Amino acid sequence: MSRIAYVNGRYLPAREASVNVEDRGYQFADGVYEVCEVRDGKLVDAPRHLARLQRSLGELRITQPMPMPALEFVMRETVRRNRVNYGLVYLQITRGVARRDHAFPLQKIAPSVVVTAKNLSYEKNQESARKGIAVITTPENRWPRVDIKSVSLLPNVLAKQAAREAGAYEAWFVDKEGFVTEGSSSNAWIVTADGRVITRKADNYILSGITRAVLMNVLEALQLRLEERAFTAAEACGAAEAFVTSASQIVMPVVKIDGHVIGAGKPGSVSTRLREEFHRFAHLS
Ligand code: PLP
């Protein structure tokens, strides 16, 4: 079965789907995106993802291409046409097509919309969660507005590649003060020996993860203590547990940071429980 992509109003076989060479997303990374998990063919937490998308568009003054319910419909339709049962749906909106010039085009242009969806292996993801992942740390070198989910991801790409080359799965950015900001494509968390669950507060220096937000509801329901504060890489290395959250990984236990073994060197009980409970609190549509 050929994969289907939605491009500016049309559902096309992926090999025929293309964007203009003067699309500002291609030229300047002048665009935003969202990624939703797909479970049982349904979108996980779509309303929260779309609310964040709306905020990202607003921060960059990119025109909203269509009402949010219409965008959600396109996402669901792309999932359906690709027969995705478990996987991800990707939505990208760029400022549009114009003759190359850094400043915004003078005339009004239509934003470009692309939606793709793919199946993932549930078993492979579960297997990673059973084993836990290794992370490395890397100096923070992104702009101070990473709260906007922009497609400008070069530092994230390089950090992830450094992790791969070091035999790790994720890279945690560390700011000048020595505090972990977040992962290259995930939020970072630790658990203390007395069971406090810690993650950095959502300011301009991290992406306010939707998985992070839902997990906070889970923590509350399970009466686990949350501390929203920064932690250093050294504190993380000495923590009882560590994990990352993202739409594609949900709660993924971390068992090694820069080669230091975390806790007992296997996924901890809090991380494992949070992963198991997560979807009871997630919204499906
Ligand atoms: N931080 C970064 C840099 C990300 O790219 C992502 C997800 O892609 C996240 C955090 C987690 O966000 P979410 O839980 O909404 O997927």
Q: What would the DSSP string read from start to end of 209-269?
A: -HHHHHHHHHHHHTT--EEE---BHHHHHTSSEEEEEETTTEEEEEEEETTEEPTTSS--H
From the CB of residue 181, how many other CB atoms can be counted at a distance below 10 Å?
19
Q: d(Cα 110, Cα 171) in Å, to the nearest integer?
A: 36
Ligand 1 pocket, residue 208 CB under 6 Å: no
Ligand 1 pocket, residue 209 CB under 6 Å: yes
Which residues are designated catalytic?
A: 149
Atom of ligand 1 nearest to the CA of 184: 3
Q: d(Cα 88, Cα 40) in Å, to the nearest integer?
A: 11
CA of 187 to the centre of ligand 1 (A): 6
Atom of ligand 1 nearest to the CA of 187: 10
Q: d(Cα 74, Cα 63) in Å, to the nearest integer?
A: 17
pLDDT value of position 2? 87
Ligand 1 pocket, residue 32 CB under 6 Å: no
pTM of the model: 0.98
Probe residue for ligand 1, chosen from 246, 278, 279 as the CB with the greatest number of ligand atoms within 8 Å: 246
* Assigned token pair, 273: 């429980």
Tens of each residue's pLDDT in the chain, 285 residues: 789 999 999 999 999 999 999 999 999 999 999 999 999 999 999 999 999 999 999 999 999 999 999 999 999 999 999 999 999 999 999 999 999 999 999 999 999 999 999 999 999 999 999 999 999 999 999 999 999 999 999 999 999 999 999 999 999 999 999 999 999 999 999 999 999 999 999 999 999 999 999 999 999 999 999 999 999 999 999 999 999 999 999 999 999 999 999 999 999 999 999 999 999 999 999
pLDDT value of position 60? 98
Ligand 1 pocket, residue 207 CB under 6 Å: yes
